[in-house]
Structures are given as structure tokens and as C-alpha cells.
Chains A and B, each alone.
Chain A
Amino acid sequence: DTGVSQNPRHKITKRGQNVTFRCDPISEHNRLYWYRQTLGQGPEFLTYFQNEAQLEKSRLLSDRFSAERPKGSFSTLEIQRTEQGDSAMYLCASSQQGWGTDTQYFGPGTRLTVL
């Protein structure tokens, strides 16, 4: 399967703990995005990378959140000192930069539950 993959698929943690999620994009895609989706809502943009450069960050991305894409391939999203409000589905998407906007392909998501 050559789609976007995310690991782990589910994560349960206690408040105050740190968590890290991984996203592996479609191999030829140079853009990678993170979104957060809470129950009954659409995904909300968090950040995106073009190759290894982080080009845009949402105001939703507090200083407890950090994302990296060290070699322009996979990406990690870390949440420090988790809070119950961080419970959500974290979605990763990738695309190939082209004319106009780019078509984003989503992974299956990582569902985070903070107890």
C-alpha cells in the first residue's frame, strides 16, 4: 500500500505525559500537513511542511506542540504535557506541489485519548 500511513493508530495517555505521532507520506510528495479533528467537527489545520521546511503554523499549535520533518520524508508531531482538551484525531496528509492548490491525501489518523 503506497498511501499515507500514521502510527500509532490509537494512543491513550494520562494528563501531563508527552506523546509523539509519526506520519509517513506518499513517497513522491514534497508537502506534508497535520490537522486535528474533534468529534462532530471537520479537520482543523495545524501546520504544513514543504520538504523539510515548516512553512505555516496555526494559532491552534500552542508551544506544547512541535512538529518536525527532518529529512523531508516522514514527520513527527509531539505534544508535551498533554491536557484532556488535546483528545482528538490527529490527521496527516501529503501532496505534491503543483499548479494552484495541491490535492491532499489523508492518512487514517491517530486517535489520542488523554485521561
Chain B
Amino acid sequence: QKEVEQDPGPLSVPEGAIVSLNCTYSNSAFQYFMWYRQYSRKGPELLMYTYSSGNKEDGRFTAQVDKSSKYISLFIRDSQPSDSATYLCAMSAGGTSYGKLTFGQGTILTVHP
């Protein structure tokens, strides 16, 4: 079983919809949680970064972390066709392991006009 599980989708939504992306994890040592966006044949781009449990909002994006359930989410409001990409969750334990990110499989999102 992988340390981080992410539904690969694909997910297709109409423009303007609210998108919910999720990851679950098994390693209770994870303390730092990130969401990356990756366009086709490009490197991942950092969207959101959260430490421990709680919510964080940045424009149309909201990241939520529930450490008790080992579950993280990314919400995209008013989705746009330009949001079409693969969304990757990533996590790290901090401490001596904080150089290493463990990624989910990625969810492919398509927002159609």
C-alpha cells in the first residue's frame, strides 16, 4: 500500500464549478502538506503549503488538512479552463526527513467551457 493515496480521476467539470480534490495518507509523521499543479510535460508548480491541521485560503484555492483522519483536500472555486491540469498532493515529515516529499498519484482535472 502506498503512503499517499490520491484518486487519479480523471475529473471533468464545467467552468465555474467547485472542484474538490483529496488525498489520504498512512504515515502519521507527515506534518507538512502541499498541493502542486502540473501542466502536461511541465514540472510541478507549488499551489498551496500547509503545516499541520487547519485551513488555508489563497484566492480561489482552499487547502484543508485533517491530521486526525489523515486526509487532506484542495478546493477550487469558480474553476476556469486554465485550471485544467494534473493536481498532485505532496507531504513531508519534517525533522531529518524534510528534504523528501512523498507525492500522491495525481488527479487529472479538465474544466470545460
- Measured between beta carbons, the chain A residues less than 8 angstroms from B100 are 33, 45, 48, 56, 58
Within 8 A of A (CB), among B32-54: 32, 36, 41-46, 49, 51
Chain A residues near B6: list those with CB within 8 A.
42
Q: How far is the CB of A12 from chain B (nearest CB, A)?
A: 15
Give the residue name and chain of the B residue nearest to A33 (CB): B99
Indicate the size class of the contact surface on chain B.
Answer: 20 to 34
Q: Find residues 16-58 in chain A having any chain B CB closer than 8 Å to their own CB.
A: 31, 33, 35, 40-45, 48, 50, 55-56, 58
Bound: A48/B100 CA distance, A: 8
Partner of B51, one of A33, A40, A55, A100: A100
Number of A-B contacts (CB under 8 A): 67
Q: CB distance B92 to A101 under 8 Å? A: yes
Quote the shortest CB–CB distance from B70 to chain A (angstroms). 17
- The yes or no answer to A106 lying at the interface (CB within 8 A) is yes
Indicate if B73 sits at the interface (CB-CB under 8 A): no
Would you give the shortest CB distance from A71 to chain B, in whole angstroms? 19
Across the interface, name the chain A residue whose C-beta is closest to B98.
Answer: A101
Across the interface, A100 reaches (CB within 8 A) one of B36, B94, B99, B102, namely B94
Q: Does B101 contact A (CB under 8 A)?
A: yes
Q: Is the CB of A102 within 8 A of B98?
A: yes
Q: What interface size band does chain A fall in?
A: 20 to 34
Q: Does the CB pair B103–A42 fall under 8 Å?
A: yes
User: Contact between A104 and B46 (Cβ–Cβ < 8 Å)?
Assistant: yes
Task: Say which one of A62-70, A76-84, A107-115 lies at the interface with B.
Answer: A107-115
B106 → chain A closest CB, angstroms: 5
Question: Contact: B41 with A100, CB < 8 Å?
Answer: no
Please pick, from B42, B44, B45, B99, the residue contacting A56 in the complex, using a CB distance under 8 A: B99
Q: Are B99 and A31 in contact (CB under 8 A)?
A: yes
CB distance from B75 to the nearest CB of A (A): 20
The interface residues of chain B lying within 8 Å CB-to-CB of A40 are 8, 105-106
A42 in contact with B99 (CB, 8 Å): no
Extra inter-chain contacts (12) besides given A50-B99, A101-B98, CB under 8 Å: A40-B105, A40-B106, A41-B106, A42-B88, A45-B100, A48-B99, A56-B100, A100-B31, A100-B32, A101-B32, A106-B36, A106-B45
